[in-house]
Structures are given as structure tokens and as C-alpha cells.
Amino acid sequence: MTSLFRHIGAVASALFCASILAGCSGTTDPVLETAQTPMMLGDSAADRVVSLQTRTMLAGLACGAQWNDPQAFSRYASFTVRNAEIIRHSQRELAERMGGLSEFDQMHTRISNGESMRMLNMGDAAYCSEMRMPFYTAVSLEPDELTRRSVVAEIKSN
């Protein structure tokens, strides 16, 4: 549990990205809506990317054992390496909009903590069950797929 909270800032970023990707589509997705918290900023592409990255990170850290997948976090790490340019650009865009990196980091921590609390309230089994399909869909995304609206709809329908 201690190691999970050490990575909470990264977890918050992934969660924030998921909510941002949800805003790319005209229809709402109950799966992605579950990760949205009052602390999430908006529905720009940058917001969705940061949210997805944060949410995917937490699921990768917390759910590997539930999914019987010891490589879950490695899958997340590969996703971030493949999509690093898009993720960094999205984080910079949010930091500029918020007034600086410090403000972005504070928001990211709040988002991560909010998703961690959601997981604790739901229980590991329920949270990991809900996050399984969105996680594996997200970690399979290539950079061109991450930016396409059709992928957002696909993630939402899962």
C-alpha cells in the first residue's frame, strides 16, 4: 500500500487523462465517467490524455494480481513510452493553462488521490473488474490511435 501512495501523482495523471479522452466523443461512456471526479478540469484532448494516463497507471499498479497479470504495470509503462510525446504535450498544455507546473502537479495529485479513494471505496475486486477492459484497450494504443476520436468511442463502449 505504501508503494501505491508513492506513485499517487502518476496515478492521478492517468485518471485525469481518461476523463479527458471521454470528452473527445459526443456521447458519454459510463465506463469512463466512473473515473471522473469534481477535481477534473475539462474535456479538451489534453485533459483526456492526462486523465487516461493517470487512470491507466493506477489500474496497472493496483490490479495486476486481480487480473492474474504480473506484467500489468509493464504494459502501462510501455504505453507511456510509446505515447510519451503526446502525454508530455498534454501535460505541458494543462500546466500552461493552469499557471505553471506546480499547479499542474497539485491538480494531478488531487486527481490521483481521488481515483485511489474511488478504488478503496469500491474495493479492489470491483474496481479492477471495472477497469480491466479500459486498461487493456488503453495500453494497446499507438500514438495515432490515442489521438483519434474513434478510439475514444471504442474505449467508452468497453
pLDDT tens digits, 12-36: 444 444 444 444 444 444 333 434 4
Q: 3-class SS at 22?
A: helix
pLDDT interval class at 80 (50, 70, 90): very high
Give yes or no for a contact between 10 and 62, defined as CB atoms under 8 angstroms apart: no
Provide the pLDDT for residue 47.
84
For 8, the grid coordinates are 499517487
Domain ranges of the chain: 2-157
Provide the pLDDT for residue 135.
95
Q: Backbone phi, then psi, for 83, in 5-degree steps?
A: -110, 20
Rounded to 10 deg, the angle between the 84-98 and 45-63 helix axes is: 120
Provide the pLDDT for residue 147.
80
For 73, the grid coordinates are 504495470
pLDDT interval class at 138 (50, 70, 90): very high
Tens-place pLDDT, residues 88-125: 999 999 999 988 899 899 988 988 899 999 999 999 99
